[in-house]
Amino acid sequence: MNKSVFAQERLTFTPATPDPDAIPTIYAFPNEYSVGITSLGYQVIWAMLAMRPDLQVARLFTDAREPLPSAPELVGFSLSWELDYAKILNLLEFLDIPLRAARRDDRHPPIFGGGPVLTANPEPFADFFDIILLGDGENLLPNFIDAYKQVRYCDRLSQLHQLARVPGVYVPSLYQVVYTHVKGPIASISPVSKEVPAQVEKQTYRSNTLSASTVVTEKAVWENIYMVEVVRSCPEMCRFCLASYLTLPFRAASITGSLLPAIAKGLAVTNRLGLLGPSVTQHPEFEELLDYLTQPAYDNLRLSIASVRANTVTEKLAQTLGKRHTGSITIAVETGSARLREIINKKLEQAEIVQAASNAQAGGLKGMKVYGMVGIPGEEPADVEATIQMMSEIKKAVPGLRLTLGCSTFVPKAHTPFQWLGVNMEAKKRLQLLQKELGRLSIEFRPESYNWSVIQALMARGDRRLSHLLELTREYGDSLGAYRRAFKELRGQLPDLEYYVHSNWDLAQILPWHHLQGPLPLATLQKHLTIL
């Protein structure tokens, strides 16, 4: 299988020929090849590594691998989904590397990690990594590799102390976490010496040249797709949204400088194009991009666009998608309650939501998916009824348009204004109510698992005390029952599940990521809570 999947790749870059003394490196994705190679972030970082002659890079997935060095000097992981942590531990075992950083010595390579999960809150996984890269990789990764070359032949402890001085490079073992008591909140987080920075600042890439696929393959989950990042972050800043706050500021790719040339390059390889970003249609020159994609030369193009803002759905957009072999569009509205939309900073009127559906239908699309959420801070039963009424109103306005409501449960995320707020325990019942009522309206309902939301919240707000729990849970399985079993076994050694998941935390309390500086200071995030 290894040869077959890699042989079918079409690269959009040229890998370098490694130097004789190139650093043997493994870059891993803790999932199957088809999943990992569909991650634009993984693709881009792999290409950055592979284009360096001072590195000899081998890729590793759970079901495929390139020829691996017998003695790697660096091993890196990209973590995009919280539950993939278990596969990281499996791959470390496969490489015969101790799971915990504290058990490694000079014989073992430094284990580094990056990606959205680790940038948001690395603490539950901190004991498994020697180094965590916080933020955008475009500048951070080259700085890290260059710094490593300077300490390549030093002992392990010297390496870590020197690398900790690189902006955005976080070495968890060089920070001591003290708790008020075994099951209590954090009392302090401090560096082990004056040479180690007290805070590590997330690194932000500020260029208007954004990411594009470096490999196209039919073995990807999205078969033969070429992905282009149109925007990064989101100007709307909904108060629950990690994608908005963690990646600030909002950046748009230069149309003529990078975006159109990147698209032309990709469409020379495949006819399937994906436009990515939290708010693609809010690119300031999106109309120009649409005009470019409606050229007759691209009549065979299959176009996909990530979720778009409801008040940017025009007939022209719908017509373009229809002509480019896409039958539906996805909008995120979160709730049918105007009161709740104000609480979360979703600047959207009910009439704009209905108009989006009308424009989608008028433009020839056959379906529309609406993203919703239950358990939003401040939510009351009447707000859930408002979502049902909204979907009913849309259905009446656009008879014949296939409607779907996809619905998640609110999960607090680090570096957002709602990071202090817990998961609403009524959310599960509210998902069940939506299932029942939308079924009566013959509207398809696709809820995300409430149990998965609980686990996601555990990871999102967890601290280092969770590492032993994660090791146990890996043995028991990834179900909520496995986590509860592990909590029971570790009773008295760490807070319970409710503390991490459902509790509203005191604004004065030290958060697990207190020493990791995101784009906005705590005081700014706290100001957003005054609306509740």
pLDDT at 2 (0 to 100)? 58
Please give the Cα distance from 278 to 209 (Å, whole number). Answer: 16
Amino acid in the structure at residue 254: S
pLDDT at 3 (0 to 100)? 61
Please give the Cα distance from 360 to 367 (Å, whole number). Answer: 8
DSSP classification of residue 517: E
The β-bridge relationship of strands 74-78 and 55-60 is: unpaired
Locate 150 and state its tokens. 């300077």
What backbone torsions phi and psi does residue 317 show, to the nearest 5 degrees? -65, -45
Please give the Cα distance from 245 to 233 (Å, whole number). Answer: 7
Question: Residue for token digits 């959420």?
Answer: 373
pTM value is 0.95
What backbone torsions phi and psi does residue 273 show, to the nearest 5 degrees? -125, 130
Question: Residue 385 burial by CB count (10 A; 0-12/13-18/19+): exposed, middle or buried?
Answer: middle
Contact 208, 230 (CB under 8 A): no
Locate 224 and state its tokens. 């033969």
Please give the Cα distance from 64 to 59 (Å, whole number). Answer: 8
Domains of the chain: 2-201 (3.40.50), 224-448 (3.20.20.70)
- Where are any strands of DSSP class E within 90-201? 111-114, 131-133, 169-170, 175-179, 186-191, 200-201
In the three-class reduction of DSSP (H, G, I as helix; E, B as strand; rest coil), residue 510 is classed as strand
The β-bridge relationship of strands 169-170 and 131-133 is: antiparallel
Contact 54, 5 (CB under 8 A): no
Please give the Cα distance from 521 to 509 (Å, whole number). Answer: 15
DSSP classification of residue 311: G
- Please list, residue by residue across 338-371, b when 16 or more beta carbons sit within 10 angstroms of its beta carbon and e when fewer do: eebbebbbbebebebbbbbbbbbbebebebbbbb
pLDDT at 531 (0 to 100)? 76
Please give the Cα distance from 213 to 228 (Å, whole number). Answer: 6
Contact 391, 443 (CB under 8 A): yes
Question: Residue 321 burial by CB count (10 A; 0-12/13-18/19+): exposed, middle or buried?
Answer: buried
Per-residue pLDDT of the chain (532 residues; tens, 9 = 90+): 456 899 999 999 999 999 999 999 999 999 999 999 999 999 999 999 999 999 999 999 999 999 999 999 999 999 999 999 999 999 999 999 999 999 999 999 999 999 999 999 999 999 999 999 999 999 999 999 999 999 999 999 999 999 999 999 999 999 999 999 999 999 999 999 999 999 999 999 999 999 999 999 999 999 999 999 999 999 999 999 999 999 999 999 999 999 999 999 999 999 999 999 998 999 999 999 999 999 999 999 999 998 799 999 999 999 999 999 899 999 999 999 999 999 999 999 999 999 999 999 999 999 999 999 999 999 999 999 999 999 999 999 999 999 999 999 999 999 999 999 999 999 999 999 999 999 999 999 999 999 999 999 999 999 999 999 999 999 998 788 899 999 999 999 999 999 999 999 999 999 999 999 999 999 999 998 877 7
Question: Could you tell me where the DSSP H helices lie in 229-285?
Answer: 242-245, 260-267
DSSP classification of residue 259: I
